[in-house]
Structure 1
Amino acid sequence: MSLQSAATLANSALEPDTLETVADLDAFYDEFEYTGRRDGDEAELAAVRAIRPRLFELLTADRDDAVALVNAMLADAGAVPQLVRHDVWDWHLHAVGPERDLPTRILVETAMAMIDVIRSDEMSRLGRCADPGCGGIVLDLSRNRSKRFCSTACGNRNAVAAYRARQRR
């Protein structure tokens, strides 16, 4: 879920920007079931918006560059992995406490998820959207690794374009 939320957050910076209000951030927070501290104000929104370029850089990096970015994110946060259990979640790993700010928790959770991607040499699960006008991040968790578009909108736009091209012939 951390990688999905990171890809969604990074892609939210593309046109049209889908993270412009505190309500947008509330919806993101709820959709990806974040827990812990939540300020719910404009300052938090600005701080979350500010980490989007770092997430985009990490999710589009090659394996070696991703290692350096992950290590920097964890070091910057003073991450100390610990097993925790809370709410409806059984034992799982957190590397920063729930009192830390939301942007820090997002970066650390993404970095922790990327550790598994890097160690299992699954960087091919991350790519760029096949829509030539998009450039968004695609997280492909499909069994046959066939996901090409970052969103349904990009997929539909390309399907309609292909259909119209066939009709013209």
Structure 2
Amino acid sequence: MLFAHDTECGLLAAAALVNTDSADAEGLPDVAALDAFFTAHNWSGRHEHTEAELRSIRALRPRLRRIWHADEDETVEIINALLRDASALPQLIRHDEHPYHLHAVPRDAPLATRMAVEAAMALADLVRSGELGRLRRCARPDCDGVLVDLSKNRSRRFCEAACGNRAAVSAYRARKAASRP
């Protein structure tokens, strides 16, 4: 593990949330999709299951996406704004089966606020450790996905296996076409 468990979870959830906003398809088309996202990323606490909550989470995505395109100073500005907007006050918390970890807003804060703050706290750890290079955009040219490279050798290039497979197939086809007389 490169970072604390809650940092890794926050980073992966932030990238996954950004990737739900794709030119190809809306990854959070309805409240049921948000429910599935909530469960898949092990969120706990308040979840209203409403259209208003869904809209507020969709509105968070562009703010987070900017981080994958920003330099360190702009990233810090975004992180600080996310924390300031939520009046974040970090505290150690233990709940469910998780050991002590940081929460910066109460568990009954709105889900969009908790998602913003969890992402900001995790991203702050990347800034502090000089690891912003672990935030990457997918290497497949026609993909707008983002990723967090948590591999030890910093070799992850694609947002998901499907993008890696598509890139490999494209490269194979290009080599085959080039080798034909």
In which range does the TM-score fall when normalised by the shorter chain?
over 0.9
CA RMSD of aligned residues (A): 1.0
Partners of 1:89 and 1:10 lie apart in 2 by 25
Secondary structure in 2 matching 1:93: strand
Shift of 1:137: 1.0
Aligned residue number for residue 108 of structure 1 = 117
Inter-partner Cα distance in structure 2 for 1:153 and 1:24: 20
Retained in 1: the 8 A contact 2:68–2:137? no
1:6 to 2, 14, 30: 14
Find runs of 4+ consecutive structure 1 residues off by over 4 angstroms. Answer: none
8 Å CA contact 1:60–1:137 kept in 2: the answer is no
Which residue of structure 2 aligns with residue 139 of structure 1?
148
Structure 1 counterpart of 2:75, from 66, 69, 72: 66
Match of 1:116, SS?
helix
> In structure 2, which of residues 87, 100, 106 is the aligned counterpart of residue 97 of structure 1?
106
Q: Is the 8 A contact 1:117 1:123 kept in 2?
A: yes
Give the letter for the 1:9 counterpart. L
Q: Counterparts of 1:27-66 in structure 2 under 5 Å?
A: 27-66=36-75
Shift of 1:135: 2.5
Give structure 1 stretches of 5+ with no counterpart: none
The whole-number CA distance in structure 1 between the counterparts of 2:39 and 2:76 is 29
Aligned residues: 169
Report sequence identity in percent: 51
CA distance in 2, matches of 1:139, 1:13: 16
Q: CA deviation at 1:5?
A: 0.6
The alpha-carbon deviation at position 89 of structure 1 amounts to 1.2
Query: Structure 2: any 5+ residue segments left out of the alignment?
Result: 1-8
User: Paired residue for 2:27, among 18, 31, 56?
Assistant: 18
SS in 2 for 1:67: helix
| Alignment correspondent of 2:4 | none
Return the letter of the residue paired with 2:111: L
Structure 2 counterpart of 1:166: 175
